[in-house]
Amino acid sequence: MMRQYELVDRVRKYNPHADEELLNRAYVYAMKAHGAQKRASGDPYFSHPLEVAAILTDLKLDDATIVAAVLHDTIEDTSSTREEIDQIFGREIGALVDGLTKLKKLDLVSKRAEQAENFRKLLLAIADDVRVLVVKLADRLHNMRTLHFVPPDKRKRIAEETLDIYAPLAGRMGMQHMRDELENLSFKTLMPEACAMIEARLADLRMKNVALISKIEDELREALSARGIVADVKGREKAPYSVWKKMERKSIAFEQLSDIFGFRLLVGSVEDCYRVVGIIHTKWPFVPGRFKDYISTPKQNDYRSLHTTVVGPGRQRVELQVRTEDMHDIAENGIAAHALYKDGRANDSDALSRESRAYRWLRRTIELLAEGDSPEEFLEHTKLELFHDQVFCFTPKGRLIALPRGATPIDFAYAVHTDVGNNAVGAKINGRIAPLLSELANGDEVEVAVAVGQVPPAAWESLVVTGKARSAIRRATRDAVREQYAGLGRQIVTRAFERAGKAFSDDKLKGALPRLARQNVEDMLAAVGRGEMFSGDVVKAVYPDFKEERKAGVAAQKSEAGWFGLKKAASLVFKVPGAEVLDDSQAIPIRGLGGDLPVRFAPNGGAVPGDRIVGILTPGEGITIYPIQSPALMDFDDQPERWLDVRWDIDEDRRDYFPARLIVTAINEPGTLGMIATVLGDASANIDHVEFISHSPDFRDIVLDIAVLDLAHLNGIIAQLKAKPVVSKVERVNG
């Protein structure tokens, strides 16, 4: 275990002005707080925070970050409190330690929900100070290095979490060295046989290519030296997990990989980077399509380098990376390499945001994902943002948009602005009209056509690849559905007040909100529309002395009239030709599935204009419309509060179709179904579903779910079907 003076010495090697007293105080405090606690390995628990601090001293981080690493488990695993840490070490260090502390006493039903909620807390803390992430990654790295002491079931979960979340997060922050080690340790735990196989093949290949690698290094140095360029040339080997991932992604064998070994050239300036590439391309032919310039267009994690592949000695493909020392530092250590951590300004978030594209991306992503989603959705969307390689696309004005591979113009639209995504209706890629689901490629120029007031289809959510797009679509869909329920709720509540003979206004509703346990009027109306609250309760909340007495309507009359009386009562309540209508203005108008209310039709038979109809309020689903003759209505006989007065309100200028179900008993012979389908086609009806029921060798029942315009259209179809010689009987199913 590292001694107190050793910790101070490690920090002072790169920071002669380190606060020795602060480091000593943190060491002693954490040692006392953890006391006799032990790790799974049997080592004193205090050895863990010290090893985390040691990892961070290798990255040359500031005093506050090192102290936070030493203290990072005190609030979570000891009797220490945030207030105590603030008092002894200051609010800055207290905030860092608190950001690293898991939420306690979570009353959640699943381990996944608990993991997601803790991850949300961590990322929100990172948005305030990215040093929380650096400490967390170092913490996870040491835990992975000692994972073999943990029970197997827990070991697998931790390795999966590391591979799913923490390794990609390290990569997104540009900390490639840490990402490689996290991935390889997870790989060794989750797929030990595959890992051992890759490591053995790499060792064998390394032995065979020692001479070739040395030759290429020498030739590169000589070629550059002859042009007056001093370069540090190093051969590098692809990490085992990276090799495995490429084999899986491209479905190729180990022998087919051409970039297992590569070479990194470190030079003194940006100009030298481009000169080096010119010299190399002059000496050896380069492989077309393999030159990438990440200096002029850095990756989102701040990675900058020139990549090229040439055909070198022995006709071997040689992959080269050319960069400066500063670029290399950032490529390996990412945000931890920024000077802000070296000069005492590590908590200057604005300065860091200007300097680090990676942190700017992280903060923006967290802000977008944190709005309104559940912890599980937050975790899912964050994974989407972390995992993919990138393509770079442009707006017509030349703005660069970085997106994951597999992104579509819909993802592009949401990356430009949420409103652009929500209102997107079409796209042009490189000047040509293209589907919104086209996969974008590097360098594409994308123009998005919008229509104000458009709502994104819910199906888009499963088709996009960015967390931002998926979150925004889900939110827009949720808002649209909420608006529908609120609209339905307003109609129900308005009619309830009219029946009660009471004055209705939003101001009166606002005064009753505390009694209804709702924050605003829209929430209350949406609750009524969803069936979570009944309109009578709203009236009583506004007028406490009100006693509900339903007027002559379906629910009121059914108890005294029985089921046949119910049908008779319905002719009074609903708009039926020739019948007496109580008050048509109090009935909710029904247009169909495409209207502005959450409406669905009876699942077993539907309803069509011309039917006398009843509305049943179904919690969470809106109104279900039944024809008055539907036997299913008997199931709601004892729930009068769910019955709604509804009427058809059909637009004569539109041809809307409505669902109906027929049972056709027909002769079982070839051509019967074709004859029935011809009748339906000639009548311009849609067939949604067909089912066959055989009850004798000679006859079969054909159950047809069809879509028609109205009752007259349906009756005409029934008459035509009955006229066919192969048809014995036609019956309509009434809900």
Positions marked active-site: 76-77
Q: Which residues contact 226 (CB under 8 A, 6 or more apart)?
A: none
At 543, list the tokens: 């007028």
Q: Which residues contact 548 (CB under 8 A, 6 or more apart)?
A: 500, 536, 539, 540
CA distance 352 to 239: 30
At 595, list the tokens: 């209207």
Beta bridge partners of 617: 623
Rounded to a whole number of angstroms, the distance between the first and last alpha carbons of the chain is 75
At 365, list the tokens: 């992503």
DSSP strand E in 215-260: where?
232-237
Q: Which residues of 634-649 are buried (b: 16+ CB within 10 A; e: fewer)?
A: eebeeebebbbbbbbe
CA distance 706 to 128: 57
* Nearest partner of 236 among 215, 274, 198, 265, judged by Cα: 265
Judge whether 411 and 466 are in contact, CB under 8 Å. Answer: yes
CA distance 496 to 548: 10
Matching residue, tokens 């991932």: 245
**Greatest distance between any 2 Cα atoms in the chain:** 107
Judge whether 388 and 406 are in contact, CB under 8 Å. Answer: yes
At 676, list the tokens: 């029935």
CA distance 222 to 210: 19
Judge whether 25 and 88 are in contact, CB under 8 Å. Answer: yes
Q: Please provide the DSSP assignment of 20-32 as one string.
A: HHHHHHHHHHHHH
Judge whether 282 and 236 are in contact, CB under 8 Å. Answer: no
Beta bridge partners of 402: 392
Q: How many CB atoms lie within 10 A of CB 384?
A: 20
What is residue 729's three-state secondary structure?
strand
At 734, list the tokens: 């009434």
* Nearest partner of 733 among 702, 698, 712, judged by Cα: 702
Q: Which residues contact 635 (CB under 8 A, 6 or more apart)?
A: none
